[in-house]
Amino acid sequence: MRTVWMVWAATAWLAGAGATGAEMTSPPKPRTVETANPSQRAIADRLLGTGRRLAQQGEPRAAIPQVQRAIALYRQLRDDRAAAYGLGVLAEIQGQSQRLSDLADTGRQLRAYGNTLGEPIAQMAAENHIALPALMSGEQELFATANQRAQTLGKGYSHNLTQAVALDQQGQMHAKGGETTAAIARYNTGLPFRYPLRDRLGEANTRLLRGEALTAQTETRAALADYGIARVLAIHLNRSDLRDGAAAGLIANYRETGNFWRAAELYQDRTGIALETQDLATAARWQRDLGDLYQHDLKDRERARLAYETALEFARLARNDLEVRESWLRWQTLGE
């Protein structure tokens, strides 16, 4: 079962100054700003807006240069608050695209701005952004320091989103160490912080994380509940990545309980998601796995044959020799 990375809704800075989690749609008003070139600020605002829009459309690679240019212009204008806001946006996008080394550097820059400006929202966001790369690389000491700062600040300012993200990250660190009971306890504590915010994206992510830990403990019914809710939220949010993660968790648990027909439906769902993103090689892999399910678990050779043939077709279209070979070998076993 893959680990779901905590990259969604990780920026408390983007959630506004209060604990409501209402998203800020434009940079905060500057305290001190160079006004000699107002057109330069308009360009910076437009670049930042374009970057955010591209990120929301699932194009983080295209979004990053736009936001970086906006930050550079804000710095030229000596607008520290807008530059800090831009760094928060940049960090969120870097997390989305898994550019973790860049994320750590952006987090440190945001921390410096937050400390200089005395801006707690920037400080809280920075700690969670610094903690994430440390979490994924296993740097426990660095992670523990940043995570503790985030939790302390979040609690001190009653900022729900900061606390939820920090607790989820702490849960992930426990899970990486095999401490699934401790991980589940952190997810259980963090999840209620998301409800007042109506943070559906964050809730879906937490449920995926908790579902993974519950699966490791063979708490199948509870895991199915979490994955099922995460899938519904992912469909509502139109997030194919979360939907795919939820389907993977559901398949594993349905197979464990012998509900093979439901698992087969979800393999078709994963195939559809792969086709939506034009990933034919992945679509071939899910069809091949579906064929295995039909052949070995459901003893349905005809459906297995059809799935293998579909996998072979997708693999050929993808020009993926490995997938072609694997699908061909599976198909051949039915002729024996």
CATH number of the domain encompassing residue 16: 1.25.40.10
How many separate domains does the chain show?
A: 1
**DSSP states along 264-322:** HHHHHHHHHHHHHTT-HHHHHHHHHHHHHIIIIIS--HHHHHHHHHHHHHHHHHHT-HH
Token duo for residue 188:
């259980």
Q: How many CA atoms lie within 13 A of 266 on its CB side?
A: 23
Classify residue 93: in a domain, yes or no.
yes
Residues of the chain scoring pLDDT < 50? 1-26, 29-30, 33-34
pLDDT at residue number 6:
42
Give the C-alpha separation, 194 to 173, whole Å.
Answer: 20
Kindly report, residue by residue over 151-163, the tens digit of the pLDDT.
Answer: 999 999 999 999 9
Chain-centre distance of CA 244, in angstroms?
12
CA separation for the pair 239, 298 (Å, rounded): 31
* Structural contact between residues 149 and 161, judged by C-beta atoms closer than 8 angstroms: no
Contact in structure between 127 and 111 (CB atoms under 8 Å): yes
Residue 85's contacts (CB-CB under 8 Å, 6 or more residues apart) are 13, 24, 27, 28, 48
DSSP tally for the chain: helices H, then strands E: 15, 0
Domain assignment of residue 192, yes or no: yes
User: Tens of pLDDT along 55-106?
Assistant: 988 789 999 999 999 999 999 999 999 999 999 999 999 998 889 989 999 9
Q: Is residue 175 part of a domain?
A: yes
For residue 57, give its domain range. Answer: 12-198
292, part of any domain: no
Q: Is 190 inside a domain boundary?
A: yes
Q: CB atoms < 10 A from the CB of 163, how many?
A: 25
Per-residue pLDDT, 37? 76
Whether 225 maps to a domain, the answer reads: no
- The answer to whether position 68 is within a domain reads yes
Of 142, 135, 110, the C-alpha closest to 123 is 110
Q: Is residue 63 part of a domain?
A: yes
Integer distance in angstroms from the first to the last C-alpha of the chain?
Answer: 32
